[in-house]
Amino acid sequence: MSLAETAAAAAADPEEGARARARRIEAWARWTLPVAVLVLVILGWHLFVTLNRIPHYILPGPVRVAEVIVADWPVLWDGMLVTAKIALYALALAVLGGGGLAVLFSLSRWTEMSFFPYAVILQVTPVVAIAPLIKIAVDDAFTSALVCAWIVAFFPILSNTTMGLKSADHNLRDLYRIYGATRWQRLRYLELPSALPYFLTGLRIGGGLSLIGAVVAEFVIGTAGTGLGLASMIQEASYRLNIPRMFAALALIALLGVAIFMALTLLSHLLLRRWHESAVRREA
């Protein structure tokens, strides 16, 4: 049905018209409601601070935090770049490591049996506990932070991709066998596309975790005066009782997390929208 016909049908059918209106309102509310909540919270925060005359070294108001963000922008921006770099490099390495290892596991069950338990051990050991050891082993603070963030981010990608590679339809596997497909063809044409939705889910989890890993690593590793990114900045500001800057850095970390999540969600949508149930818009 063409667009014009659809519109005409909607006009003719009151139920369809109401449904189209409801859809428009929902699309609009999806953005405006969260923004409205944000504005209300900031307003409430501002009123709470000003009406109670709370000193800024205990809880700075939003205006003060905004002022600090503007005034300290060069420092904060540098810090944000460092934190973003740790998180994104770690995520990229996690994709290579987790995805690559998953493919290796799918090619060889013996390899999977040998190494998967150690991947689990690496995952369940808290990164905070490993970080000091890494700091000793690796000289460069940036590299050791990267290693920490990578350890946290790679497991969800590994386990999701491993599961995805195994989830290919078994009748399709039979079909590939009947047509004499090579191992490589089966991987490329069947298992990798089947694993894509699982991999993307792992990637979104890994994206969030890589930032958490980066922040934790900066807290643990950045202590010896090796100032790194936003998280070390929070720590340093807390020593100096520069509470507004702590809030400013915190706001930027949250912003960074949201940006990573949205970028990965967009990527996932673009890759799956043609065929996967999770991304396909259904007719009501």
Partner 1 sequence: MDAASLTAARPRLLTMTGVGKTFGGDVEALRGMSLEINEGDFISLLGPSGCGKSTALRLIAGLIHPTRGSIRWDRPKGEGDLGVVFQEPTLMPWATVEDNVWLPLRLRGRPRAAVRDDIMSALRLVGLEGFARAYPRELSGGMKMRVSIARAMVTRPRLILMDEPFAALDEITRFRLNDDLLAMKAEIGCTVVFVTHSVFESVFLSDRIIVMAARPGRVIRELAVDEPYPRDESFRTSAAYVAHCRAASEALHEAMGEAA
Binding site for partner 1 (CB under 8 A): 169, 171-172, 174-181, 185, 189-190, 193, 196, 274-277, 280
Which residues are CB-neighbours of 45 under 8 A, at least 6 positions away? Answer: 61, 62
Integer angstrom CA distances of residue 28 from 33, 107, 216, 273, 284: 9, 47, 37, 21, 18
Minimum Å gap between C-beta 196 and partner 1 is 7
Among the listed residues 49, 69, 44, the one whose alpha carbon sits nearest the alpha carbon of residue 61: 49
Place of tokens 């069950």: 109
Q: Rank residues 107 and 196 by Cβ distance to partner 1 and give the closer one.
A: 196
Helix (H, G, I), strand (E, B) or coil at 2: coil
Longest dimension (CA), the chain: 77
Minimum Å gap between C-beta 100 and partner 1 is 21
Minimum Å gap between C-beta 187 and partner 1 is 13
Minimum Å gap between C-beta 161 and partner 1 is 16
Q: Rank residues 184 and 239 by Cβ distance to partner 1 and give the closer one.
A: 184
Minimum Å gap between C-beta 200 and partner 1 is 13
Q: Rank residues 23 and 177 by Cβ distance to partner 1 and give the closer one.
A: 177
Q: Rank residues 140 and 174 by Cβ distance to partner 1 and give the closer one.
A: 174
Q: Is 136 exposed, middle or buried (0-12, 13-18, 19+ CB in 10 A)?
A: exposed
Q: Rank residues 150 and 176 by Cβ distance to partner 1 and give the closer one.
A: 176
Contact yes or no for 214/231 (Cβ under 8 A): yes
Contact yes or no for 142/86 (Cβ under 8 A): yes
Minimum Å gap between C-beta 3 and partner 1 is 18
Angstrom distance (rounded) from CA 62 to CA 40:
12
Q: Rank residues 50 and 278 by Cβ distance to partner 1 and give the closer one.
A: 278
Q: Rank residues 185 and 265 by Cβ distance to partner 1 and give the closer one.
A: 185
Integer angstrom CA distances of residue 178 from 182, 185, 186, 195: 11, 13, 12, 22
Contact yes or no for 152/209 (Cβ under 8 A): yes
Q: What region, left, alpha or beta, does residue 225 occupy, with left being phi > 0 and alpha being psi -120 to 50 degrees?
A: left
Minimum Å gap between C-beta 175 and partner 1 is 6
Angstrom distance (rounded) from CA 81 to CA 239:
22
Q: Rank residues 170 and 240 by Cβ distance to partner 1 and give the closer one.
A: 170
Minimum Å gap between C-beta 106 and partner 1 is 17
